[in-house]
């Protein structure tokens, strides 16, 4: 009996501590669970301080969010009358419901941050050249999808944050040229926020967006393999390229006789050498497991220590004062609040300029960056290569500007969205909601 179970286990699992090269490769090629990994990977891409394993951390967060999200679906009711109550129940009545919701919330906020930092890592290592440009674009779309998932997610508790975020968010969408009002009508399922609105955002959040992200994530992974692994491989490869020796003029035989010139010769080794590679099992599989466990435990710790925010029940009559977006959207709130421009009688609303045109421009530049980048190939796969000084400075300055806007929004904005310096008294405002 015991032997039989062991045999089935061996057939369906793999050697966790392979004792031979054969066992290592069989863990990949003879096994369903790991078959999407290559049997061998470049040693350079296993470095902790090249990639910081941020992509793996993002994927871990996606997995945590999917599992906790599906569990939350057993408790949440997408109805304007019962949604808020079901969140309160999770927080106070369901055993460990608080942990479940908290972990979902902190993993979501973590994912926004980690996906962005992952993108920054790819940028600062110049890892989007050549064929990798496609994966860069896929990554930008994934980042955008992460933001949409986050947005649709915090609408579901149907608290004040949710209601006023939908109000402002769909009002921004309405400002889009030509199609704006139609998009708003479609998102709201009418002219006003109501049951249809909640249901639409719910289905987007629990089905369409997650499926979209998982499919695109799978493609993202597949492309990493097709592009030959992480760009760190290119650094190794560049170092291995042998400079061709100055060859003496030779004579070679062509169809019509002897022609002068140089003969064919091997100039470089194109692939990685045996010593540059390690087996994916256990070198990669163990690291992935470790990263997942660390990420899981960090989100769990956050879930135990801090409660996810929940404002009062949605109230169309009273706007919170000030009404602040979550930190990762506050910079956009700063933009829409300060980019209205007036030329005499002609006004361009900040909703269009700061809410659509400016973010759209930033997104466009970000997407097309691989084709705008003129840095030399030798800068690929290296952190902060001096050849890419200007590119890296541009990215850093843009990131810093966004961080400053976030800081201003989160810490300095008070009632009626005025600036209050630290220590400056803030006026009492009625809190009716």
Kindly list the residues in this chain that would bind other proteins in the complex (CB under 8 A): 164, 167-168, 171-172, 185-186, 189-192, 194, 196, 316-323, 333, 336-340, 347-351, 354-355, 415-418, 429
In the complex, least distance from residue 56 CB atom to other proteins, rounded to whole angstroms: 37
In the complex, least distance from residue 351 CB atom to other proteins, rounded to whole angstroms: 6
C-beta closer to other proteins: residue 111 or 193:
193
Region at 13 (left for phi over 0; alpha for psi -120 to 50; beta for the rest): beta
Calpha distance 193→183 (Å, rounded): 14
Residues 77 and 116: beta-carbon distance below 8 Å: no
% helix, strand, coil for the chain, step of 5: 65, 5, 30
User: Among positive and negative, which fits the CA dihedral 343, 344, 347, 350?
Assistant: positive
User: And the tokens for 306?
Assistant: 């801090």
User: And the tokens for 69?
Assistant: 């999200």
In the complex, least distance from residue 353 CB atom to other proteins, rounded to whole angstroms: 9
In the complex, least distance from residue 366 CB atom to other proteins, rounded to whole angstroms: 25
In the complex, least distance from residue 322 CB atom to other proteins, rounded to whole angstroms: 5
C-beta closer to other proteins: residue 162 or 168:
168
C-beta closer to other proteins: residue 34 or 83:
83
C-beta closer to other proteins: residue 142 or 352:
352
C-beta closer to other proteins: residue 59 or 168:
168
In the complex, least distance from residue 259 CB atom to other proteins, rounded to whole angstroms: 53
Nearest to 262 by CA among 274, 251, 273: 251
C-beta closer to other proteins: residue 323 or 396:
323
């Amino acid at each position: 009996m015991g032997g039989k179970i062991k045999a089935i286990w061996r057939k369906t699992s793999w050697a966790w501590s392979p004792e031979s090269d054969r066992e290592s490769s069989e863990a990949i090629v003879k096994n369903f669970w790991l078959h999407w990994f290559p049997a061998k990977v470049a040693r350079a891409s296993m470095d902790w301080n090249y990639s910081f394993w941020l992509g793996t951390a993002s994927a871990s967060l996606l997995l945590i969010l999917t599992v906790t999200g599906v569990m939350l679906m057993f408790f949440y009711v997408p109805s304007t009358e019962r949604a808020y109550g079901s969140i309160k129940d999770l927080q106070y009545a369901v055993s460990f419901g608080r942990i479940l919701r908290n972990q979902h919330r902190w993993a979501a906020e973590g994912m926004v941050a980690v996906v962005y930092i992952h993108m920054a890592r790819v940028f600062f290592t110049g890892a989007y050249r050549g064929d990798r440009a496609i994966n860069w674009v896929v990554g930008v779309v994934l980042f955008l999808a992460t933001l949409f998932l986050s947005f649709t997610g915090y609408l579901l508790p149907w608290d004040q944050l949710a209601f006023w975020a939908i109000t402002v968010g769909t009002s921004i969408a309405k400002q889009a040229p030509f199609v704006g009002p139609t998009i708003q009508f479609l998102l709201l399922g009418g002219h006003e926020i109501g049951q249809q609105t909640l249901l639409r955002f719910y289905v987007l959040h629990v089905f369409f967006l997650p499926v979209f992200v998982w499919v695109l994530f799978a493609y993202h992974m597949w492309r990493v393999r097709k592009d030959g692994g992480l760009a760190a491989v290119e650094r190794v490869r560049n170092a291995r390229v042998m400079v061709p020796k100055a060859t003496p003029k030779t004579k070679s035989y062509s169809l019509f006789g002897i022609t002068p010139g140089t003969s064919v010769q091997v100039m470089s080794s194109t692939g990685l050498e045996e010593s540059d590679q390690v087996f994916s099992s256990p070198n990669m599989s163990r690291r992935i497991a470790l990263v997942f466990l660390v990420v899981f435990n960090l989100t769990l710790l956050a879930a135990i220590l801090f409660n996810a925010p929940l404002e009062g029940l949605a109230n169309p009559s009273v706007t919170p004062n000030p009404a602040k977006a979550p930190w990762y959207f506050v910079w956009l709130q700063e933009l829409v609040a300060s980019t209205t421009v007036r030329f005499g009688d002609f006004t361009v609303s900040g909703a269009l300029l700061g809410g659509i045109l400016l973010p759209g421009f930033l997104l466009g530049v970000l997407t097309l960056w691989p084709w705008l980048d003129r840095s030399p190939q030798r800068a690929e796969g290296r952190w902060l290569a001096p050849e890419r000084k200007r590119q890296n400075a541009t990215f850093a300055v843009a990131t810093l500007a966004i961080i400053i806007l976030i800081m201003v929004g989160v810490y300095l904005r008070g009632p009626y969205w005025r600036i209050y310096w630290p220590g400056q008294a803030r006026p009492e405002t009625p809190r009716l909601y």
